[in-house]
Structure 1
Amino acid sequence: MTEPGGAGPAEEALPAGGGTRTAAAVYQDRLQAVLATALREEVHTVRRAAEVVAATFSARGVLYVFGSGHSHMFAEEAFYRAGGAARVCPVLKPPYMLHEGAVRSTVLEREPGHAADLLSGYRLEPERDCMLVASNSGANALPVEVASAAKAHGLPVVAITSRAYAQAVRHPGPRLHEVADVVIDNHCPPGDALVRLADDLPPTGPASTVVGLALLNSLVVEACAVQLARGERPEVFLSANMPGAAEHNEEAVAALSGRVPHL
Structure 2
Amino acid sequence: MIDQNAYAETARNAVNRVLDAERSVIEEAGGLIFAALRAGGVLQAFGTGHSRSVALELVGRAGGLVAANQLGIRDVAYYGDASPRDILDPKIEREPGLALRIWELADIRPEDVFVIISNSGGNASIVEMARLARTRGHRVIAITSRAHTAELSVDERLADLADVVIDNGAPYGDAALPLPDGGAICPVSNLTGVLIAQLLVAEVAGRFLAAGQAPPVFRSANTPGGDAYNDRLLEGYGSRVRLGDA
1:118-153 deviation per Cα after TM superposition (whole angstroms, max 9, x unaligned): 211212222x21011000011112111101101122
Partner in structure 2 of residue 15 of structure 1: none
**For the structure 1 residues 154 and 215, does the alpha-carbon distance in structure 2 shift closer, same or farther, using more than 3 Å as the test?**
same
More strand by share: 2
> Retained in 1: the 8 A contact 2:114–2:141?
yes
Aligned residue among 235, 240, 243 for 1:254: 235
1:231 CA drift (Å): 1.5
> Retained in 2: the 8 A contact 1:69–1:102?
no
1:210-246 deviation per Cα after TM superposition (whole angstroms, max 9, x unaligned): 1011001101110111111112221100111223212
Distance 2:85 2:243 in 1: 18
1:44 CA drift (Å): 0.5
Partner in structure 1 of residue 194 of structure 2: 213
Partner in structure 1 of residue 74 of structure 2: 94
Identity of aligned pairs, percent? Answer: 34
After superposition, where does 1:57-72 map in structure 2 within 5 Å? 57-72=37-52
> Retained in 1: the 8 A contact 2:64–2:201?
yes
Partner in structure 1 of residue 81 of structure 2: none
Aligned residue among 135, 148, 160 for 2:143: 160
Partner in structure 2 of residue 233 of structure 1: 214
Does residue 132 of the first structure (1) align with residue 139 of the second (2)?
no
Does residue 142 of the first structure (1) align with residue 142 of the second (2)?
no
Does residue 151 of the first structure (1) align with residue 134 of the second (2)?
yes
Distance 2:87 2:132 in 1: 24
Partner in structure 1 of residue 8 of structure 2: 28
4+ residue runs over 6 A deviation: none
One-letter amino acid of the structure 2 residue matched with residue 220 of structure 1: V
1:101 CA drift (Å): 7.6
Mind listing any 5+ residue stretches in structure 2 that lack a counterpart?
78-83
**For the structure 1 residues 101 and 207, does the alpha-carbon distance in structure 2 shift closer, same or farther, using more than 3 Å as the test?**
farther
Distance 1:100 1:150 in 2: 28
Partner in structure 1 of residue 181 of structure 2: 200
> Retained in 1: the 8 A contact 2:75–2:105?
no
Distance 2:11 2:60 in 1: 27
Mind listing any 5+ residue stretches in structure 1 that lack a counterpart?
1-17
One-letter amino acid of the structure 1 residue matched with residue 193 of structure 2: G
Aligned length: 238
CA RMSD of aligned residues (A): 2.0
Partner in structure 2 of residue 109 of structure 1: 93
> SS in structure 1 opposite 2:187?
coil
